[in-house]
């Protein structure tokens, strides 16, 4: 019996119309700030420029992607990397000490190896001589 495997599990739920909650906050936040600026009686050209920048920036944050990843995630990762503590270590001695350890292990293996006795003749020659002479 085949099982149904859920697909598209990486999608965020659409909360407000076709927008996810995060997209709604970005665009809605830009519009809300523009609304507040309207009531603060800014000159029209400053209001227009600031509203274009705020709503455009919110739209870029909501819908923009770089290499398939949201721009907001890229910005968040940039600041996390920039302000987190970093420690880079380089140990040149680590590689050399490992090589020395290997050489020492080889020397110890040679020293611990059993001492071989050298026969006068090889075992095959010795066996051939026994067969020819008839000795057991």
User: Band of the pLDDT at 120, cuts 50, 70, 90?
Assistant: low
Do residues 72 and 80 touch, judged by C-beta distance below 8 A?
no
Please tell me whether residues 75 and 107 are part of one structural domain.
no
Q: Evaluate whether residue 4 is within a structural domain.
A: no
Q: Evaluate whether residue 91 is within a structural domain.
A: no
User: Band of the pLDDT at 97, cuts 50, 70, 90?
Assistant: low
Please tell me whether residues 127 and 70 are part of one structural domain.
no
- Give residue 38's domain range: 14-83
Q: What is the pLDDT of residue 128?
A: 82
Please tell me whether residues 63 and 112 are part of one structural domain.
no
Total of domains in the chain: 2
Q: What percent of the chain clears pLDDT 90, i.e. is strictly above it?
A: 40
In terms of Cα–Cα distance, which of 52, 65, 79 is closest to 23? 65
What pTM, to 2 d.p., does this model score?
Answer: 0.54
Residue 121 above 90 pLDDT?
Answer: no
Please tell me whether residues 28 and 68 are part of one structural domain.
yes
Q: Evaluate whether residue 73 is within a structural domain.
A: yes
Q: Name the more confident of 94 and 76.
A: 76
């Amino acid at each position: 019996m085949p099982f149904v495997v859920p697909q598209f599990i990486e999608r965020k739920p659409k909360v407000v119309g076709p927008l996810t909650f995060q997209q709604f906050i970005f665009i809605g936040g830009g519009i809300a700030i523009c609304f507040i600026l309207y009531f603060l009686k800014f000159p029209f050209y400053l209001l227009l420029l600031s509203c274009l920048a705020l709503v455009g920036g919110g739209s870029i944050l909501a819908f923009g992607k770089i290499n398939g990843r949201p721009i907001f995630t890229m910005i968040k990762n940039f600041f996390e990397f920039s302000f987190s503590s970093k420690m880079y270590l380089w140990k040149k001695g680590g590689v050399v000490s490992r090589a020395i350890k290997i050489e020492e292990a080889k020397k110890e293996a040679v020293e611990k190896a059993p001492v071989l006795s050298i026969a006068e003749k090889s075992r095959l020659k010795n066996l051939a001589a026994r067969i020819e002479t008839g000795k057991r």
